[in-house]
Amino acid sequence: MALIVQKYGGSSLANPRLIRGAAARIAEVRNQGKELVVVVSAMGRMTDMLVRLAHKTVKAPSDREMDMLLSAGERVSMSLLAMALHELGVPAISFTGSQSGIVTTGEHTNARIIDIKANRIREELARGKVVIIAGFQGVSETKEVTTLGRGGSDTTAVALAAELGAECCEILTDVEGILTADPRIVPNARLISECSYDEALELASRGAKLHSRSVEVAKRFQVPVKVAPSRDASATGTHIHSAAAKNVERALVRGVATRDGLAFFRVRSGIGHARRVLQEQQVIPRHFQMEAGECSWLIDEASAARLREGLFNAGVAFEENPKACLVSLVGESLTDAREVLSGFLETIEGSGAHVIAMASNSLSLCVAVDASHKPTLARDLHKRFLEV
């Protein structure tokens, strides 16, 4: 019997009506003769609510206790969904990350999966049950509850699909699939019906609504992934696989990705000072550049205060833009096409955006700008390259 792994996002489980709707869809798939493992996120904005609750209670909650707190959100979803399936006469059982055998590294709030001991899952599937898994969480080798970072339920789902040999992993959410741009910014954004693992990974890492680590796992284990709306079982969605459209060497623009929540730092010192501060503060830089004795990079906004303090204490001179945004043109063979690069630069110039930093590779052309310039630049790039 073929196995499918489905993942339901928080917006698809935001209230009892939606949970019952998800249960009905799961029951329909099971009635088609499929085995099902279902991974769930926390309901609606529950994770955000729990984060706010922690910070209203204490000034600086520890990472360990935050993992204990945030892991509760997915447990609520999994148990309610199991109850809804029981009411439909579908045998189902819910498991936490640790009960599922998801073993992770020990880093709290951003752990990585290192093993899946899926014996209990296989046993319950053999008994004819739908197995519902709390996404986003696992247990370390020292028996500590850990979480995988925001969006980690996608990674849970794809990792389980790889371990269990599923025929497909379906990421079910509140959008049609992967779009050519964020429709809240670019009204003319349209569905990308299929793309390669590399393209999907680039779009995700640049801000598209997909967890980049989940695509990394899918690529490594060749797991076919479908991103589709949870409300419409007949929707085409986006299919992510190894064999994308044959393009030979022609440049092909897939989409415009935007990423908020970044801070830009320029440090007036050699690489040694920068390396030590980044290491001490456990900050992961993006788009690291060095020239004429200066280093610059982008980091997640959440790490900015910690890095700022570290640089100040080390006596390192720096300048900062705390509200930076990355706007990227993503596709195939972009840096090999003069007309794409020329059009990209011309569009930036025409938008009036102040360029903070730029970077490129074969799959993307990226520019960091002040967040206030993001909407205009994203719309201009989409119009130039994707509305023709």
Per-10-residue mean pLDDT of the chain, 388 residues long, equals 94 96 96 96 94 94 96 97 98 97 95 97 98 97 94 95 97 92 92 91 83 92 95 91 59 87 86 82 82 85 86 87 92 80 94 88 90 94 91
Dmax over Cα atoms in the chain, in whole Å?
69
Q: Are residues 169 and 261 in the same domain?
A: no
Q: Are residues 156 and 263 in the same domain?
A: no
Exposed, middle or buried: residue 372 (CB in 10 Å: 0-12, 13-18, 19+)? exposed
C-alpha–C-alpha distance, residues 171 and 152, integer Å = 12
Q: And the tokens for 312?
A: 């100040």
Strand 145-147 with 113-116, pairing = unpaired
The answer to whether residue 200 is domain-embedded is no
Q: Are residues 256 and 368 in the same domain?
A: yes
The answer to whether residue 199 is domain-embedded is no
The answer to whether residue 366 is domain-embedded is yes
> What confidence score (pLDDT) does residue 144 get?
97
Q: And the tokens for 133?
A: 């898994």
The answer to whether residue 198 is domain-embedded is no
Domain count across the chain: 2
> What confidence score (pLDDT) does residue 219 get?
94
What's the CATH number where 279 sits?
Answer: 3.30.2130.10
* Residues 368 and 262: beta-carbon distance below 8 Å: yes
Q: Are residues 36 and 150 in the same domain?
A: yes
Q: Are residues 32 and 149 in the same domain?
A: yes
Q: And the tokens for 207?
A: 């801000």
> What confidence score (pLDDT) does residue 36 get?
98
Q: Are residues 39 and 153 in the same domain?
A: yes
Phi and psi for 24 in degrees, rounded to 5? -65, -40
> What confidence score (pLDDT) does residue 17 get?
97
C-alpha–C-alpha distance, residues 262 and 322, integer Å = 7
Residue that finishes a domain, picked among 145, 174, 203: 174
Phi and psi for 326 in degrees, rounded to 5? -105, 125
SS3 labels along 14-54 = CCHHHHHHHHHHHHHHHHCCCEEEEEECCCCCHHHHHHHHH
Q: And the tokens for 288?
A: 């690291």
How many CA atoms lie less than 13 Å away from 319 in the CB half-sphere?
Answer: 4
Identity of residue 56: K
Residue that finishes a domain, picked among 113, 139, 174: 174
The answer to whether residue 203 is domain-embedded is no
Q: Are residues 288 and 166 in the same domain?
A: no
The answer to whether residue 71 is domain-embedded is yes
The answer to whether residue 76 is domain-embedded is yes
> What confidence score (pLDDT) does residue 343 get?
94
Q: Are residues 26 and 159 in the same domain?
A: yes
Q: Are residues 258 and 348 in the same domain?
A: yes
Give me the sign of the Cα torsion angle 304, 305, 308, 309.
negative
What's the CATH number where 122 sits?
Answer: 3.40.1160.10
Q: Are residues 21 and 124 in the same domain?
A: yes
How many C-beta atoms surround the C-beta of residue 208 within 10 A? 30
Q: Are residues 123 and 261 in the same domain?
A: no
Q: What's this model's pTM, rounded to 2 decimal places?
A: 0.88
* Residues 264 and 366: beta-carbon distance below 8 Å: no
C-alpha–C-alpha distance, residues 267 and 270, integer Å = 8
The answer to whether residue 192 is domain-embedded is no
C-alpha–C-alpha distance, residues 73 and 81, integer Å = 13
- Domain that residue 363 falls in: 252-386
Residue that finishes a domain, picked among 147, 174, 201: 174
- 245 Cβ contact list (under 8 Å, min separation 6): 194, 252
Phi and psi for 374 in degrees, rounded to 5? -60, -50
Q: And the tokens for 194?
A: 């299929």
> What confidence score (pLDDT) does residue 218 get?
95
> What confidence score (pLDDT) does residue 246 get?
53
Q: Are residues 279 and 168 in the same domain?
A: no
